[in-house]
Chain A
Amino acid sequence: MKSKTFLTIVLSLISGVSVLAYMVIEFPGWDRLQDISTDIFVARCSETPDPDNVTHYGHRVDFQGLYYANVEIVSVLKSGTNWIATRVCPPKPGLAWIQTAYCPQQGEYYLIFANPETDYYTQRQATNYWDATESFRFVPLGAHFSTNSIAGHPLNVQMQTLFKASAFHLEKQIQREQAQKQRIESGIQPQSTQMPQPKQNERASTN
């Protein structure tokens, strides 16, 4: 009897974990990432995701640690627009939602390697809803980005331009954060060791 209860608890736990789990792949390299991402686009984050993870339906709280980001697509680089049989909604400029582990910032532009999200009930692609779970699928481009810089070029050239822009933005950010780190270190007294620290597994707040 006891083993039956134990087995039931274990099975319940396993099914619970399975429901909450999601698959994350290792960074496969940019070429492979381009291949496996059905949609690649540049989008501007229209609202920093709620840290409590309220979805765009406004009622569900997610326990997986994923964000539901509101973005505005400004330029589509790659998409299967003619797959009418399987796809109902290729990305086009305008509002969209993205499920991701990366926390985008309002007003910043991102190059996003995404896949369409399937509606749980209809098993078809949900309207304007994409999945870019892994953080490396978001490449930050900064707050000042013009689509003119990539207009009319082949995909590879567009990618290189965007990677350069991102590297430039990131280097500037690293410099800024380094200066801030030095400033903060100068203000921290060595004897104050009792200060509470956030745990290692707390979700990263990126900026």
Chain B
Amino acid sequence: MKTKLTTLLSVLLVFCAAAYVVVPFPGWDRLAMESEYIALVRCGNPTVLPPNAYRAGPNSDSDIQIIFTLKGTNDLDVCRLITDHDLYPGERYLVFGNLGKNILHAFEEYRITQVDHLFTTNLIAGKPLNEQIQIILERRLFDLNREAKLNEEELQRLNEALKNEHK
């Protein structure tokens, strides 16, 4: 009985240590208000962990370079980003995060919005925060619509191949 209780407590302890809180999407206005740091970043390589270290929790942990700060401190250059969103080196992202010891925490997927390569920060320079966010979101929406078309075409081609298999 004692062993069972100890095992159960240990399992609970491990779960608590590995757990992190994920909040449902609260809307853009509230997200912008609650995030202490909003920035446009360029993703670098995934962070190399020390030997025998194990990464528990979010999907991606990468080095990033801050390109443009929309909200928060300006003196950051390179830091780490930890998030559930898939990060790809070389890509740019708008991040709604919270900063701690040079690590930008943006656990939830909705805190990351990909920005296309041709985006220039001159488009948002000197504008109010809300307008800056709007510009980036509109560009992303444009990209998503274009990608949706390409994905549909690709899926159609694949389905064609899979149909032929069943014939």
Contacts and interface: CB of A to CB of B under 8 A. Distances in A.
Interface of A: 27, 29-31, 47-48, 50-51, 105-107, 135-136, 139-140, 143, 159-160, 163-164, 166-167, 170-171, 173-174, 176-178, 180-181, 183-189, 192, 195-198, 202-207
Interface secondary structure of B, over-half rule: helix
Contact of A188 (B86, B138, B152, B165): B138
A105 B88 contact: yes
A47 to B, nearest CB: 7
A181 B148 contact: yes
Interface size class of B (residues with CB under 8 A): 35 or more
B108 to A, nearest CB: 11
Interface string B148-161: 10111011011111
B134 interface: yes
Contacts, number: 125
Contact of B27 (A187, A202, A203): A187
B57 interface: no
A104 B147 CA distance: 14
Interface of B: 25, 27-28, 86, 88-91, 109-110, 113-114, 116-119, 123, 131, 133-135, 137-148, 150-152, 154-155, 157-162, 164-165
A206 B25 contact: no
Q: Which among B143, B146, B161 has the highest number of chain A CB atoms within 10 Å?
A: B161
Given A183-B110, A184-B140, A189-B134, A47 B89 contact: yes
Contacts of B91: 48, 105, 205, 207
Q: Which among A31, A48, A140 has the highest number of chain B CB atoms within 10 Å?
A: A48
Contact of B28 (A48, A106, A187, A192): A187
Contacts of B114: 207
